[in-house]
Amino acid sequence: MKTADVVLLGCGPVGALLANLLGQAGLRVEVFERDREIYALPRAVHFDGEVMRIFQAIGLAERIAQAARPSSQGMRFVNATGQTLMVRRGIDGPGPHGWAGNWYFHQPELEAILRDGLARFPNVTVHLGHEIADVDAIDAHFVVGCDGARSTVRRAIGSQQRDLGLHQPWLVVDLLCDPDSARVRALPDYTIQLCDPARPMTVVHVGGRRRRWEIMLMPGDDTARLTEPEIFWPMMARWLGPHDAVLERAAVYTFHSVVQEGWRRGRLLLAGDACHQTPPFLGQGMCAGMRDASNLAWKLAAVVRGESPDTLLDTYESERLPHVRTFIDLAVKLGAVLQETDPTAAAERDRRFAAGATLFDFPQPQLGPGDRIDAPPPVGMIFPQPRLVDGRLMDEAIGQRFAIVGDPALLAAERPDAVRLPGVGADWLAAHGLRAALLRPDRYIADIA
């Protein structure tokens, strides 16, 4: 017998979430993580309401909600003179997933909560400080590479990289701001994308005293010296000075837009940055990895338990790849607006928005063709999470199973492995002209009546 059902390479946010999902499903899981400590440099600061719903599925939403800042506000693309070009709308109150639509957080704190969550499962073992160089030597039914942008598992699979065109170095800094400073108090809570051709920037209120600046590198910048006070503070002059904040941490990253084709070969699979990378202009890179984990976990559990044929796992990439591409393609388009450094082209761009700002929302794509996903939307779309009359959120009543929601008269149909929730989602179903929906464990719609 294999010593593990699933071995995960990497305990970043995606590996840690997938280990929680698989641990909860009762699988024997071993996680190998190269580093002893959680990665300390600045990375993700935003996740959306659908991702909070996935945290709810592993019983950690309340803890994460205490560590994160919910926001009803969106993101504004503003030019150097203050003209608003585009707005990603915010969401008032609990959004369609039953949680605030936008959350801001400190990635190391989130990763620590996800890792602590693993202690609940005696069937999950984490080996820190343990790099895997040879995946062939792993004794497990399945091996998932959650091993980031330079994935070892991806090399073993031989995936093909598709370059989506955007590669640009940026300086990323977190500042701890003085709450008594008038300049700090004047900063907005919404996210700003400053479309200034002299120096594009992103400004985010992470939470508490912490704020994030992402600063595009320009020709002539000396990367090694950018955080020296005499170079750093003049770049920040529009916002803050050295009396308003201290620099907590900084890193230079090249933002990439790539997807891999080939997320599976036999028992080897990929999730997260190992199979896609996006520029962070939508705050969706990690979110996409979390959606990978949610899609893959129930399929792995069903195959390991012998409830589904192994071919179910082939639907993972076909469903997820077009979905994540929609987000990356939009991030690349937004990047073209934000990263314009030619003043003439920037002036032309600003004239295009002279009649008013363009409003947009996060994409809500349909999954690609896959497990029963062979019909037009709403099949393959995520089902919202209403509150039940007893006060619980819908997913709490279902658990990690299939469910049928909707018209009580139809729910008598045989489907022994599915929970039945008569009357639930009635408004949504009526709006779509439907009587019932079959929901998968990841809450995407498998079928409708």
Ligand X SMILES: Cc1cc2nc3c(=O)[nH]c(=O)nc-3n(C[C@H](O)[C@H](O)[C@H](O)COP(=O)(O)OP(=O)(O)OC[C@H]3O[C@@H](n4cnc5c(N)ncnc54)[C@H](O)[C@@H]3O)c2cc1C
Contact residues toward ligand X (CB under 6 A) are: 9-15, 32-35, 39, 42-47, 131-132, 146-148, 152, 172, 253, 272-273, 280, 283-287, 289
User: Please, what is the angle between helix 315-338 and helix 285-304, to 10°?
Assistant: 180
CA distances from 301 to 2, 146, 444 (A): 15, 17, 17
Q: Which C-beta is closer to ligand X: that of 87 or that of 286? A: 286
Q: Which C-beta is closer to ligand X: that of 53 or that of 378? A: 53
In whole angstroms, how close is the CB of 274 to ligand X at the nearest point? 6
Q: For residue 332, what are its two tokens?
A: 């690349």
Q: For residue 265, what are its two tokens?
A: 């070969």
Q: Which C-beta is closer to ligand X: that of 6 or that of 14? A: 14
Sheet strands side by side (includes 69-71):
46-48, 102-104, 69-71
C-beta separation of 245 from 178 below 8 A = yes
In whole angstroms, how close is the CB of 47 to ligand X at the nearest point? 6
Q: Which C-beta is closer to ligand X: that of 46 or that of 443? A: 46
Helix (H) or strand (E) holding 213: strand 210-216
Q: For residue 447, what are its two tokens?
A: 């079928």
User: Which residue type occupies 365?
Assistant: P
C-beta separation of 227 from 173 below 8 A = yes
Q: Which C-beta is closer to ligand X: that of 11 or that of 398? A: 11
Q: Which C-beta is closer to ligand X: that of 35 or that of 248? A: 35
Q: For residue 352, what are its two tokens?
A: 């295009």
In whole angstroms, how close is the CB of 277 to ligand X at the nearest point? 7
Sheet strands side by side (includes 402-406):
418-422, 402-406, 436-439, 445-448
- The string of DSSP letters for 43-102 reads ---EEEHHHHHHHHHTT-HHHHHHHSEEES--EEEEETTS-EEEEE----SS-TTSS-SE
In whole angstroms, how close is the CB of 156 to ligand X at the nearest point? 10
C-alpha angle 208-209-211 in degrees, rounded to nearest 5: 100
Q: For residue 71, what are its two tokens?
A: 């926001």
**Short-list 272, 276, 271, 280, CA closest to 259:** 276
In whole angstroms, how close is the CB of 33 to ligand X at the nearest point? 5
Q: Which C-beta is closer to ligand X: that of 276 or that of 302? A: 276
Helix (H) or strand (E) holding 162: strand 160-177
Q: Which C-beta is closer to ligand X: that of 150 or that of 243? A: 150
In whole angstroms, how close is the CB of 282 to ligand X at the nearest point? 8
Q: Is the peptide bond before 378 cis (omega within 30 degrees of 0)?
A: yes
Q: How many residues does the chain have?
A: 449
Instruction: Please list, in sequence order, all residues whose beta carbon lies within 8 angstroms of the beta carbon of residue 128, skipping any fewer than 6 positions away.
Output: 11, 33, 35, 36
In whole angstroms, how close is the CB of 365 to ligand X at the nearest point? 16
- Spatial distance between the Cα atoms of 438 and 370, rounded to a whole number of angstroms: 15
Q: Which C-beta is closer to ligand X: that of 250 or that of 357? A: 250
Q: Which C-beta is closer to ligand X: that of 11 or that of 236? A: 11
**Short-list 386, 365, 392, CA closest to 439:** 386
Q: Which C-beta is closer to ligand X: that of 50 or that of 319? A: 50
Q: What is the DSSP letter of 383?
A: P
In whole angstroms, how close is the CB of 161 to ligand X at the nearest point? 16
The phi and psi torsions of 223 (rounded to 5 degrees) equal -50, -40
Q: Which C-beta is closer to ligand X: that of 104 or that of 239? A: 104
- Pairing between β-strand 140-145 and β-strand 4-9 as defined by DSSP bridges: parallel
In whole angstroms, how close is the CB of 87 to ligand X at the nearest point? 18
